[in-house]
Amino acid sequence: MGPDLQTTSPRIILHIDMDSFYASVEMQVRHEIRGKPVVIGADPKNGKGRGVVATCSYEARSFGIRSAMPISQAFSLCPHAFFLPPDLNLYAKMSSEIMTCLRSYGFLFQQVSIDEAFLDLSPLGSFSAARILAGEIKISIRTAMGLSCSIGVAPTKIVAKIASDFQKPDGLTIVEPEQAASFLAPLPVRKIPGIGKKSEQDLNRIGIRSIGDLAAYDVRRLIARFGRGGNALHEVALGIDESEVKERDGMKSVSRETTFEQDTDDLSTVGNVMDTLVEDMHRDLSDEEIRFRTITVKIRYEGFVTKTRAKTLMHYTDSKRTLRSSAQDLLQGLWGGKRIRLIGLRVSAFEKNDARQTTLDGSGSQDTFSSMRFKKD
C-alpha cells in the first residue's frame, strides 16, 4: 500500500453509550423492578417534589418521562413508577468496570462521560472486522454486568456518536464512509450532539430541519447567526470531523452540568440545582480523596452564549462548605437576569498526587463531547 492510500484510508471509530444507565444498574441489582417503569432522580413527594429526573428506564420513557424533566411532571405521567434516589457510588463503580473492559481490547480509548466512550478501531482495517468486535463488546458487557449498551461505528467521532444513538436501546449501527452523507441527511438537527430544543428552534426558524438542510446551507450565513459555533455545526453536517480519540493522562478536572428542561430566570431554582451539583460532585471528590483549588461555574444562556467565572483559593481544600459557597458566589456574580438553559460546575487544580489523579477515570469530566464542540467561552 502506497503512502497516498494510507493517508486516505478511513478511520474506524466506535462509540459506546450504555442504555438508560443509572436505571439499568438499579434494575440489575434489584430484580423486583426489572421490566418496570423506573425513575432515578429527586424525591417526587407525591407530586410536590422539586428537582428533576436524572434518567429513567425505557419502560418509563413509554409514559413520556425523560431526563431533566421536573420530577413532579414525571410523577403525574406515571405515579406507579419506582422512584429511586441516585446511588452515584454504585454507578461510578459499574462505570469503571465497563471502562476497564473497554480498555482491555488494547485500542486507543477515550472515556467521555460516566456511560460513554470511544475506541479507535482503525488498526482493524475494515468495517466488517469492527462490526464483529462491536458485537463481542456488547456480549461481554452483558455477560459480565447484565447491562445493555448501544454502539455506533463510523469514520468520525461525531458520526459514531450519532450512530450509537440511532437504534437505542441495545443497538448496533455501522456507518461506512460512503454511507455517512445519506445516513446524516434525513436526521433532524436535534440529533447533533450539543443541539438542544432551543438551538433546534433557532435552526428551524431559518428553514433548517434536517442535517441535510444544514449541510446545504450557506456557511457564511450560519456564522453570521451563530458565531464560531455556526462553522462547527456546518462541518458536523458535512461529516467533517478530524477530532481524534484521545487517551487521558490522569484527571485534570471534574465537572458536572445540568440542562434545564425549560430555560429559567429564577435564581432560587438555579441555586437549588447548583447545590445538587455540589452534592454530587463532592461525593465523588471525597471518594477519591481529591483536594482542589479552582472552582469554575458556567452558565449557558438561551442560544449558544456561554459564560464562565472561576475562583482560585489560597489553599487546597476538600471542604463541601467551601465548594458550595464558592459555587453560589460565582453564580451570583455571573447572574444577568437572562434566561438560562444550562449550568455547570467544575473543580480543577488538584493537589499533586498522581496516584489519586489516575483513579478517577474520567466520569463527568469537563471534556464532554458537546461542550468540547460548541463551547464559546
**What one-character DSSP code corresponds to residue 31?**
G
Q: Choosing among ligand DCP, Mg ion, none, which partner's interface includes residue 164 (Cβ < 5 to 8 Å by kind)? A: none
CA angle 103, 14, 9 (to 5 degrees): 115
- With a CB cutoff of 8 Å and minimum separation 6, the contacts of 205 are none
Compute the least distance from the CB of residue 13 to ligand DCP, in Å.
18
| Residues in 20-79 at the binding interface with Mg ion, rule: CB under 5 A | 21
- Please choose, out of 108-116, 138-146, 340-348, 351-359, the segment that lies near Mg ion by the rule CB under 5 A: 108-116
Residue 120 sits in the site that holds ligand DCP (CB under 6 A): no
The residue among 21 and 304 lying less far from Mg ion, judged by its C-beta, is 21
What letter represents residue 302's amino acid? E
| 19 touches 147 (CB < 8 A) | yes
Distance of CA 253 to the CA centre of its chain: 16
- Pick the closer one to ligand DCP by CB: 222 or 258: 258
Comparison of 68 and 185: residue with beta carbon closer to ligand DCP:
68
In the bound state with ligand DCP, the residue whose beta carbon lies nearer, of 147 and 159, is 147
Q: For residues 266 and 366, what is the distance between their CA atoms, to the nearest angstrom? A: 25
For the bound state, the minimum distance from the C-beta of residue 339 to Mg ion, rounded and expressed in Å, comes to 28
Residue 29 CA, distance from chain mean position: 24
CA-nearest of 277, 200, 257, 218 to 372 is 257
Total residue length of the chain: 377
- Identify which range of 13-21, 71-79, 104-112, 335-343 contacts ligand DCP by CB under 6 A: 13-21
Judged by beta carbon distances under 5 to 8 A according to partner kind, the member of ligand DCP, Mg ion, none in contact with residue 77 is none
Residue 114 interacting partner from Mg ion, ligand DCP, none (CB closer than 5 to 8 Å by kind):
ligand DCP
Q: Which is nearer to ligand DCP, 222 or 340 (CB)?
A: 340
Interaction of residue 174 with Mg ion, rule CB under 5 A: no
Among Mg ion, ligand DCP, none, what binds residue 184 when CB lies within 5 to 8 Å by partner kind? Answer: none
Which 16-55 positions form the footprint of ligand DCP (CB under 6 A)? 17-22, 54-55
Inter-axis angle of helices 219-226 and 228-237, nearest 10: 140
Report the C-alpha gap between 39 and 42 in whole angstroms.
9
**Is there binding between residue 17 and Mg ion (CB under 5 A)?**
yes
**Site residue total, Mg ion (CB under 5 A):** 4
CB of 54 to ligand DCP, least distance (A): 3
From the list Mg ion, ligand DCP, none, pick the one residue 304 interacts with, judged by a Cβ distance below 5 to 8 Å according to partner type: none
Question: Which one-letter amino acid corresponds to residue 319?
Answer: S
Q: Which of the ranges 26-34, 115-123, 197-205, 272-280 carries the binding residues for Mg ion, by CB under 5 A?
A: 115-123
CB of 17 to ligand DCP, least distance (A): 5
Helix, coil or strand: residue 101: helix
3-state SS, residue 340: strand
Q: Which of positions 162-191 make contact with ligand DCP (CB under 6 A)?
A: 168-169
Contact by Cβ (8 Å): 155, 13:
yes
Q: In what order do the strands lie in the sheet with 172-174?
A: 108-113, 116-120, 13-18, 149-154, 172-174
Beta carbons within 8 Å of 307's beta carbon, 6+ residues apart: 298, 299, 301, 334, 377
Annotated catalytic residues are 116
Residues that bind Mg ion (CB under 5 A): 17-18, 21, 115
